[in-house]
Amino acid sequence: MEIGTMVFLAIVVFVVIYVVMLYNGLVNLKHAVTKHLANIDVLLKQRHDELPKLVETCKQYMQFEQDTLEKVILARQQVASAQASHDMRALGEAETGLRANLGNLFALAENYPELKADSSFQALQSRISSLENAIADRRETYNEAVNNNNVRIEQFPDVIVARLFNFKAFDLLKFREEELRDVDIKSLFS
């Protein structure tokens, strides 16, 4: 074999190996996003199961706050619907609504000393709060995986492999601006 042919074959082998490495890296990123979303789903389902217990506990004490309790139930349903469709924008909005309504419920509980002293309420409040913290942590990890995926599929030379094999960008899980604002507790008691 002549040297020109050997050089050409070496270049082809190098390019094939390089493309395979890029492809495997992109597959790895895509599956990391899916894994992190599944981790969020586990926590959302756990919280979803705890909310009816919280509402039932509150109903025993908060007879005049039915509107707040119904808002929590409706927000829970919206989160479940968005979660089932894997629509990150809808999930972010539904999560914002649920968190706001839970914040309102916990703030209103301050008016009910018997409720605050109830061991079931305390356990559920603690459990839901810890789930909220875990969801926030996992959302951050999910968004990092999405960002890594989205950057890689736009960078050269990865973009060539990404387009060739139809790799897609994922949406970040964002909460609306209301999520970041403080709750106006005075308005809750008006």
Percent of the residues in the chain that have a pLDDT greater than 70, as a whole number: 92
Higher pLDDT, 59 or 152: 152
For residues 25-30, give the mean pLDDT. 96
How high is the pLDDT of residue 185? Answer: 43
How high is the pLDDT of residue 158? Answer: 94
One-letter amino acid of 80 = A
Residue 129 has pLDDT above 60, yes or no: yes
For residues 59-69, give the mean pLDDT. 78
Residue 187 has pLDDT above 50, yes or no: no
Q: Map residue 21 onto helix, strand or coil.
A: helix
Higher pLDDT, 1 or 153: 153
How high is the pLDDT of residue 68? Answer: 83
The reply to whether CATH 3.40.190.10 applies to domain 3-188 is no
Domain extent listing, the chain: 3-188
pLDDT digits (tens, 9 = 90+) for 92-104: 889 888 988 888 8
154 φ/ψ angles, rounded to the nearest 5 degrees: -105, -15
> Which pTM does this prediction carry?
0.76
Residue 16 has pLDDT above 80, yes or no: yes
Task: Give the 3-state DSSP-derived string for 23-83, with helices as H, strands as E and coil as C.
Answer: HHHHHHHHHHHHHHHHHHHHHHHHHHHHHHHHHHHHHCCCCCCHHHHHHHHHHHHHHHHHH
Kindly report whether the peptide bond that precedes residue 157 is cis, defined as omega within 30 degrees of 0: yes
How high is the pLDDT of residue 176? Answer: 66
